[in-house]
Amino acid sequence: MSGAEDSLRESLFGHTPVVADSAFVSRMAYLVGDVTVGERASLWPFTCLRGDGDTVTVGDETNVQEFSMLHGADLGDRVTVGHGVVVDYATVEDFSLVGMNSCVLRDATVESGSIVAAGAVVLQEQTVPEGHLAYGAPAQTKPLTDGQRDEIARVHEHYVDLSREYKETGRFE
């Protein structure tokens, strides 16, 4: 992993963001403090990753889309974080999808292979069970359908491919 050199990646409290060389990080993303970004991950314009009170970890092939904010968050591998999401001191496990304009609050856990629907609010200390859909505010859960499982894979693959294209062409980087 390489160090962070540009002005939108700042050291704080003795920690400097660490970003894998293969990751795509928009020059319009803001990373500060104890932040780690994994292999082939992507951070799109206007994302904010604040590692100023706890670690922010973005796993391999995880994408964080425009206007999302991660603060003390732990994202596993192959996670999709949609536009305008807040993950605040919470965990999202591998191969999950967090839909647009949703919130995952302090000490909540989204277990592997789950979806948080657009606009949902996963409350403090709530757990979304593995392979479930969380919907509504406050979030209720139900098992995923096969189509929803397929959607997690489709969106993940799309963003891995798209970020590779952006990285190869130098767009926003």
Kindly state whether residue 116 falls inside one of the protein's structural domains: yes
Rounded to an integer, what distance in angstroms lies between the CA atom of residue 29 and that of residue 8? Answer: 7
Kindly state whether residue 172 falls inside one of the protein's structural domains: no
Task: Provide the CA 41 distance to its chain's centre, in angstroms.
Answer: 9
Kindly state whether residue 42 falls inside one of the protein's structural domains: yes
Kindly state whether residue 74 falls inside one of the protein's structural domains: yes
Reference 16, options 33, 38, 40, 30; nearest CA is: 33
Kindly state whether residue 82 falls inside one of the protein's structural domains: yes
Q: What is the mean pLDDT of each run of 10 residues along the chain (173 residues)?
A: 50 83 94 97 96 95 98 98 98 98 98 98 98 98 98 96 90 64
Task: Count the helix, strand and coil residues of the chain and give each as a percent rounded to the nearest 5.
Answer: 15, 40, 50
Domain extent at residue 75:
2-167
How many domains is the chain built from? 1
CATH number of the domain bearing residue 84: 2.160.10.10
Kindly state whether residue 139 falls inside one of the protein's structural domains: yes
Q: Check residue 173 and give its pLDDT.
A: 62
Q: Is 168 exposed, middle or buried (0-12, 13-18, 19+ CB in 10 A)?
A: exposed
Question: Whole-model pTM above 0.95?
Answer: no
